[in-house]
Structure formats: C-alpha cells, structure tokens
Amino acid sequence: MAGFAAFAAGTAVRVAAGSATFPLIASLPSFAFTLGGAVLLLSITASFVMPPRGALLRDVRGENDSPLPSHVTALLVLLCGLAVLQVPGVVSWWRAEHAILAAVLPERARDSGFEYIPMALTYALPAVATLTLILFAITTLLGAVAPSKLAIRVIAAGVLLQAGYIAVSLIAGAEIHAIGDVLRPLLADDPDAARTVSEWMTTHEGAAGPTTQRLAWTCAGYVFAAVVAALSPATEISPAEVQINVASPQASISTVARATVDAPTTATISYAPVKSDVSAVFDESQYSVHPQLTLIEGLFTRTCNDFEIRCIPHTSRKWFSFSWTNGLLRQRPARTDLAKITPADSPGLFWDRKYEVVDPATGHTLARFVPRGEDWEITDPSDVLIARVLRDTTHGIVRFRAMIGDAEAVRFKWALAGLSVYSAQLEIEFLTSPPQHSLDRVLAIAIAPILEQRSRLVSERSNR
C-alpha cells in the first residue's frame, strides 16, 4: 500500500508541477518513485518467499517435523532482545519530535486541519522505526514456532520486510537533508523559521541517524540467522518406509522412520479403513456439490442449508441431497438415507466444530470430522486417523486434498460454474488408488458440504 501510494503521489506531483523549476518541488517525484520502487520490490519478494499460512501451522498436517535447532532459536531470541533494547531510543525520538511540533503548531487546532500535514511528516519516521522493532519480534516468533523445514523461508521473508522499512528510513532521511539544504538559504531573512528548521534537523540527525544504524545492524543479525538456519543440519525425519499389512481384515499402514545412528526414531500411524454398506451407490468418479442458496442466505447469513449432489456430467437420473435441517445425506428420488452428520449445524462463520458421521440404519458412528486449523482430520470411532483433508489455496482457487499417509485419495475443488456465487459448486474427484489408500466415498461426500462453505468464505475474502 505504501509503495503504490508513493507512486501515485509522485505521478500527481509530476503532473501538477510539471513546469516547476523550484529544486524542492522538482525533486519530489524522483523521491516518491525511488521510495515506492524500493518498498514494492521488497514487499512483493517477501510475499513470494513467505510460505502459505496453512503450511506454517504445526501439528495440523500430520507431517513429522523436528524442533528448530537450539542454536538458531537462541540466536533469534538474542536478536529480539537486542531489538527490545532499542525501544527507549525510539521513545525518545517520538518525544523529541513531539516537542518540536508543540513549539511550532498552535495550541488549538484549526478548522482547516492543515496542521495534521506537518504532524504526519514529522511522525512518519518514528512510526517506521516502531514498526521495524515490531517486525523484529514477529520474525523471531514465526521463525521459532513455524515448522523447522520452513524456518529459512520465514526468516528470509522477515528480513526482506525489515530491509523495506530500513530503506524507507534511509531514503526519507536523505530527502529530509536535501529539503533542509534548500530551505536554509530561503529562510535566512526569517530567524524564527530558520531556527525551527535547524532544531528539527538537529533532532532528526541526533535521533534518526543512530536509531536507523542500530536497526540496520539488527537486520544484518537476522540475515546471519537466516544463513545459520540454512546451514544447520536437516531436522526432518528421513523418508519413511511404508509397511502395509494385508493379512488381517482391517489393514493397517505403519510408517516407520529409518533409524539414525545416534538416536533411532519411530513414528507409527495406524489406519483402519471404514467401509459403509451404501458406498456402492457412488459409482461415478466425479461429483458436484451445489449449494441451493436463497436470496437471504446469499446476501446476509452467508451460510447454506441445502445442497444438491450430482455426478459430472449430469447423465444419471440418480442424484443426492444434503440438508443441515436434519443432517441427512439422501439418495434421490428414492429418498433413501445414506448417512447422517451430527450435530446438524453448519460450520460457523469464524469457527469449526467436530462432527460425527452416523449410519442411519444402525445408529453406529462411522467416522468423525475433526477441525485442525484450515484442515480437517477424518478419524474412526476410536479416534484412529483415517485421512487428512488439507486445504490448498493458490491464485484465488480453493482446493482440498484428502490424503491417506502420503497418497492422495480424493480431490475437492471449489469453482464458479457461472458469474455469481449462486453458480458456485464444489467438485469432487475420486482418484484411482489401491484399496488401502482409498477413502470411503460416503465420508468424502459427507464432508463436502462443510468444505463447500469454507471454500465459499475463503473466496469471498480473497475477492474483496
């Protein structure tokens, strides 16, 4: 936002004062374009370097991840401590700038509001220094709590943003010096104005210079931390060997990590497949889950109560429906109950709840849907993990992948079939996979209305 605003301001000044020969006005477009270019370059690069938000959530995706090496964590904490030590200097800077403004501005605010312009210009650099200190703390926090395999990218993204803030301070500081050099000879006949400019320049040089240098050295420390993290030994568990036991009726997958020389590590994930007697009715490879949005639901509540489920393309007379009124997944037009979700309440706008999938004929629980951040886990009645449903949002397209171990079993994609949200639908694709890596189709269809609402809300936020 700051980069685009600087470009807009520079363009406006150049158009409005294109024929101006006064050095101060003539230099403003170049200053604005330099500032905007530096900020945009670093911020856009940081956005590409930073991992997706879903990937930063530890213990959500069921992936093995060792802690960040202790020396990297200690270095990040040390750098954060050095940033905290700079707080008194920044506070003193704020107070000095406030004292200058108090001496220049009138005691009572004018109706015109023009006094806010020098206030914004004066407080801009202390505000940038404060944001830089906050960014130091955020970089340390994210680098320490994010998965260790992503630490280098998290720290590098933080360094790029820090460099952007420091670049703003240096570029603005150079322009302030240029403005001061231009104003001094012009104010030679006004002692009060000349003294005010001299005091402000002295305040800036006494506070901004040392503070900016300390911020730059701290940023260099985070660069060193990123290099140390990149050169540290890999913290991930080595690739696992998957052992499939098909001797018993309930097959299990055990993921056994290869033992290291110093400390053998074993991670075991059990998988007990769930098979519903009615899964055979879903005999197509692709289905669409279309929300039957009413006008009130589309404009106000943003939740949907009823869904129509059909194969892709719609060639079969057999179709299905789901309603949050009773939580029933039904086959149409026979009105046969296939599964029931309890509680029969749609997900909240800002939170998710745990659900159970019940066989309507027997009343037995088939599986549970457990929210894990932006993802979901599907477990059996004994809370043994069956599958992980992972969200993957790229370029405004919301997708989910149902994973059994490292194998992808089902794909979910939210898409607009027309021009409005009323035409949106969630598409389900069952992938060809071995029986031990296949997800019961009733469970995949049952979780689809939950994923559809989550996808619709994500798409709304991304398109604002």
CA separation for the pair 122, 116 (Å, rounded) = 10
| 106 and 224 in a common domain | yes
Domain membership of residue 375 (yes or no) is: yes
Residues 6+ away with beta carbon under 8 Å from 285:
429, 430
> 């979780």: which residue's tokens?
447
427 pairs with which residues across the strands? 288, 413
**Do 305 and 222 have their domain in common?**
no
Its pTM stands at 0.57
Query: Is 368 within a domain?
Result: yes
Residue 41 within a domain: no
Find the mean pLDDT for residues 233-241: 42
* Boundaries of domain holding 395: 280-462
Tell me, letter by letter, the H, E, C secondary structure of 325-337.
Answer: CCCEEEEECCCEE
CA distances from 431 to 1, 202, 253, 392 (A): 42, 69, 19, 17
Q: Do 295 and 434 belong together in one domain? A: yes
| Closest CA relative to residue 151, chosen from 254, 65, 217, 83 | 65
Round to whole Å and give the CA distance between 166 and 179.
20
**In the chain, % of residues over pLDDT 70:** 68
Write down the pLDDT at residue 134.
93
Please check whether residue 63 lies inside any domain of the structure: yes
Kindly report the length of the chain: 464
The encoded tokens of residue 177 equal 């010096």
Judge if 266 and 286 occupy the same domain.
Answer: no
Residues 381, 339 share a domain? yes
Do both 250 and 370 map to the same domain?
A: no
Q: For 335, how many CA atoms within 13 A lie in the half-sphere containing its CB?
A: 0
**119 shares a domain with 70:** yes
pLDDT tens digits along 366-413: 999 998 878 889 998 888 888 889 887 665 678 899 988 778 899 998
- Which helix (H) or strand (E) segment is 390 a member of? strand 385-394
pLDDT for 455 beyond 60:
yes
Q: Identify whether 32 is part of a domain.
A: no
252 and 291 together in one domain: no
Residues 223 and 244 in one domain: no
* Same-domain pairing of 246 and 320: no
Residues 6+ apart with CB under 8 A from 340: 326, 327, 328, 329, 357, 358, 359, 360
Identify the residue whose tokens are 């936020």. 461
Residues 284 and 404 occupy one common structural domain: yes
**Number of domains into which the chain is organized:** 3
| Average pLDDT value for residue range 429-446 | 83
**Is residue 373 within 8 Å of 366, Cβ to Cβ?**
no
Q: 313 preceded by cis ω (within 30°)?
A: yes
DSSP-based three-state secondary structure for 369: strand
Same domain, 265 and 122: no
Cβ of 265: how many Cβ atoms within 10 Å? 14
Query: Domain end: 206, 231, 256, which one?
Result: 231
Residue 132 in any domain: the answer is: yes
| Domain presence at residue 221 | yes
Q: Is residue 17 part of a domain?
A: no
pLDDT at 462 over 70: no
Largest CA distance in the chain: 99
pLDDT value at position 233? 67
